[in-house]
Structure 1
Amino acid sequence: MKNTVPLFIFILSILGCDHKAKNSNQNIISSDIANFWNAYDLIVATNDSIMQYKYLDSLYIQKGTLGLKGIMKARNYSQQDYIDAINSYPKFWKSIRENTLKTDAYVSELNSGIERIKKVYPELKPAKIYFTIGALRTPGTTIDSLVLIGSELAMTDGNTVSSEFQGDIQRGRRIYFDSNPIDNLVLLNVHEYVHTQQKPVVNNLLSYVLHEGIAEFVSVTALGVPSSAPAIEYGKQNEAVKTKFENELFFGYNRHEWLWSDYKNEFNVRDLGYYIGYQIAEINYNKAEDKQAAIKEMIELDYTNESQVEDFVDRTHFFSKPLEVMYEDFDKSRPTVLKIKQFENNSTMVNPETKEITVEFSEPLNGLNTSVDFGELGAESFPKVTDRFWEPGNQAWTLVVSLEPNKHYQILISNNFRTEKGIPLKPFLIEFQTTK
């Protein structure tokens, strides 16, 4: 009998350690959701803003998982964003609460989905899935090896209330809710899981649409289900989507028109960039003799390697021309700066009493979009600007300046200037030096 109690304690300690180990290795974590609702109940029960922030911080943010910290960083969520969202949309929050508490019911399906990815991509690296509550900016994103689910959007359905949102946001939310996102929760998670395996994108539209389209294609291929993104089916049936994308591929300012936005376009379908990337991935896959090798190539595509990306796209013959030819055509179509009215560019003899600098363009621009920036010499070489205005006809634009004697100046006229069709200006560096 002397050894019974110590032996019993020893067994319990082993079991306890094993339980903790299993929890620490858990791939799907949802504790942030319960924490959010605990904080929410106290926040909505008081009008004291100080206490609202205190409850949010102590009961939700401070108790948050790596996933919560990750999604707050990825979408730049502040405490004010959360408090504003909670106070502004009470009917919305009430309508989603029950759904967000159902995560345990999806654990088996999610794990099965991950195993299916591994079958088509045996090199799959482990990642963790975090169900969090965000402030209405994303249903899902990733940071490194973390899948971050914004459950307040990802777990909505046709019963979710959208009436408290305004304008185009309400329209976009209603369309999204009516598509029953919760029914596609496993597909969303698998899509984001694939993102954790991909290489980082570079900052251009083609990279973004390939990154998203590949993740979607790999996901639906692994799961054997159709995509839940309306953009993909719509794009397949409407050649005009591809034509528009070809015309706008190199604009450089229009990501929101193709991805991750409720921006209203002529097709009334959001995120059409998903279709572009998906279709390129699908064509490559269908042409490949070795399907598993094709999946591997897609997932491991190096977006910093221009020749690799160009080959991946061009061999599909999806676009009407090779990417290089498309860029050459685009570059030829761009407006340019013809001259500066008051002096020759690169002059070293500019009168410091000059009060205006007028830039003349090769064709009329839209009279709306403008932007100037520092040159490589930085802010110290940028003149003091007191006003700026378009000349009649929008083929010239004037800066009202105050110059100093014997000083070197630089002004970068950026590609944010555009024609009526949206074609961006070729950037132009104004550089000059004033006399003594």
Structure 2
Amino acid sequence: MRVAPQWNFSRMIQRGPLPGFAFTRVRATAMLLLAVLGTQADLSAAAEVDAPTVAAAGAVVQTDDVALFYRVYDAAGGKPTAAQLQRDYLEQGSEGLRLFARLRNTTGQRIADAVARDPALYADARRCLAVLPQARARLEKALRDLGGLYGEARFPPVTIAIGRGKPIAIGAPDTGIQVGLEALCDADWLNADPEDRIVYVLAHEYVHVQQVNAHKLSDKPAPTVLEISLLEGIAEFVGEQVAGGIAYGRTAAMVAGREQEIETRFAADIDKTELKDWVYNTTPEQPGDLGYWVGYRIAKAYYRNASDKRQALREILEMDDARAFLARSGWHPGMAL
């Protein structure tokens, strides 16, 4: 995350293992939808979103790039060359796709290498297409609800495309949200149901866009375990409030009965600046990112203990002092929530 923070699920997946849960194969990232959702719009301003779409108008979800990719893919018998992908896909795609490619250093060669390395990843991504219409409808409702709860909510455009296997998604207030469908479709370790996975991950990313003070914490030379865990946990909690579930959907079952143990360890580490034991450490084989889950529970405690829920939601989204937020939350290790 930088001045205009970029959250993405891939970062979580590329770090080392941790006892817990995280978004590994894509920074966790950091931010999956795609092809044929129906509505399209001009994303010529995607690189510089000066006036993000608000809830009343609805978020722009651009999915043409998925269909474009599969036209190139099918014409090449599932083995497109680097030149074909560069010329016929990346250079012919939307502004959002080109932005995604630039931000993630994606080239035709890198996609071709990924297809050759893991052909099933790209063949299997088609199975997510069937649930896109339902996912889109649910996401639109969630964003309307978010706009109703938080009047300053912004909804920059979403580009769903095919990338090089990671990240799942990235997003920032000034560049919108970009999703790699193949990566998201493959991430059944987040949520087993692909429709839920799409909705909850995008809701998580949209919450990150609302965290206007996040840069005060994430851009520090050495942010703490508590600071980063709260930023991610808040995205999980608020996303659940509006969409009905969390991006890391399998965490609750994983940690059931271990709340006291895990959170006692977390409490001892909150001021540490070495993050690898708590965030950005998941792989499909070794779930991690327990900081997301503990941060979610702290945010939930804060909200539960507040008398004015609307004001509490604002304070949660605008959190800029992690220690003060923790103190006001009433959270303690192992508490029932």
Q: Structures share a fold, TM > 0.5?
A: yes
The worse-fitting range, judged by mean Cα deviation, of 217-226 and 26-35 is: 217-226
Give 1:132's aligned residue.
Answer: 161
Give 2:274's aligned residue.
Answer: 253
Give 2:98's aligned residue.
Answer: 69
Change (3 A) 1:130 1:227: closer
Give 1:379's aligned residue.
Answer: none
TM-score by length of 1: 0.55
Secondary structure at 1:109 match in 2: helix
CA positional deviation for 1:234 = 3.8
Give 1:115's aligned residue.
Answer: 144
Give 1:289's aligned residue.
Answer: 307
1:153 to 2:166 alignment: no
Secondary structure at 2:274 match in 1: coil
1:202 to 2:222 alignment: no
**2:325 equivalent among 312, 318, 321:** 312
Structure 1: distance between partners of 2:296 and 2:193: 22
Q: Is contact 1:190-1:219 (8 Å) kept? A: yes
Q: Is contact 1:56-1:79 (8 Å) kept? A: yes
Q: Is contact 2:306-2:312 (8 Å) kept? A: yes
CA positional deviation for 1:178 = 7.2
Structure 2: distance between partners of 1:176 and 1:250: 29
1:217 to 2:237 alignment: yes
Secondary structure at 2:304 match in 1: helix
Structure 1: distance between partners of 2:328 and 2:253: 22
Deviations 1:295-315 (A, max 9, x none): 11111223xxxxx32110122
CA positional deviation for 1:152 = 0.9
Q: Is contact 2:234-2:295 (8 Å) kept? A: yes
1:143 to 2:172 alignment: yes
1:86 to 2:91 alignment: no
Change (3 A) 1:177 1:119: closer
Q: Is contact 2:41-2:62 (8 Å) kept? A: no
CA positional deviation for 1:36 = 1.4
Q: Is contact 1:212-1:277 (8 Å) kept? A: yes
> After the TM superposition, which residues 36-435 of structure 1 pair with which residues of structure 2 at under 5 Å, given as runs?
36-43=69-76, 52-100=81-129, 103-145=132-174, 146-156=176-186, 176=189, 179-199=192-212, 200=215, 201-203=218-220, 204=223, 205-225=225-245, 228-235=248-255, 237-238=257-258, 239-255=260-276, 257-259=278-280, 261-262=282-283, 269-302=287-320, 308-318=321-331
Change (3 A) 1:70 1:292: farther
Structure 2: distance between partners of 1:119 and 1:178: 27
CA positional deviation for 1:287 = 0.8
Q: Is contact 2:111-2:164 (8 Å) kept? A: yes
Give 2:29's aligned residue.
Answer: none
Q: Is contact 2:165-2:182 (8 Å) kept? A: yes
Structure 2: distance between partners of 1:84 and 1:177: 25
Secondary structure at 1:141 match in 2: strand
Structure 2: distance between partners of 1:36 and 1:128: 20
Structure 2: distance between partners of 1:23 and 1:251: 44
Structure 2: distance between partners of 1:74 and 1:58: 19
Q: Is contact 2:131-2:195 (8 Å) kept? A: no
Q: Is contact 2:211-2:317 (8 Å) kept? A: yes
CA positional deviation for 1:236 = 5.8
Structure 1: unaligned runs, 5 residues or longer? 1-21, 157-172, 303-307, 321-436
Could you tell me which amino acid in structure 2 is paired with residue 183 of structure 1?
D
Higher Cα radius of gyration? 1
Secondary structure at 2:297 match in 1: helix
TM-score by length of 2: 0.70
CA positional deviation for 1:34 = 1.0
Could you tell me which amino acid in structure 2 is paired with residue 193 of structure 1?
Y
Structure with more relative contact order (C-alpha pairs < 8 Å, separation 6 or more) = 2
Give 2:36's aligned residue.
Answer: none
Q: Is contact 1:28-1:130 (8 Å) kept? A: yes
Secondary structure at 2:177 match in 1: strand
Secondary structure at 1:176 match in 2: coil
Could you tell me which amino acid in structure 2 is paired with residue 202 of structure 1?
D
The structure whose residues are more often strand, as a share, is 1
Deviations 1:111-158 (A, max 9, x none): 1121011122122123212211122223222122512222113234xx
Secondary structure at 1:255 match in 2: coil
Secondary structure at 1:131 match in 2: strand
Change (3 A) 1:242 1:75: farther
**1:32 equivalent among 65, 72, 77:** 65
Q: Is contact 1:44-1:87 (8 Å) kept? A: no
Change (3 A) 1:296 1:98: same
CA positional deviation for 1:244 = 2.7
Aligned residues: 271
Quote the RMSD (CA, aligned, Å): 3.0
Percent of aligned pairs sharing the same letter: 24
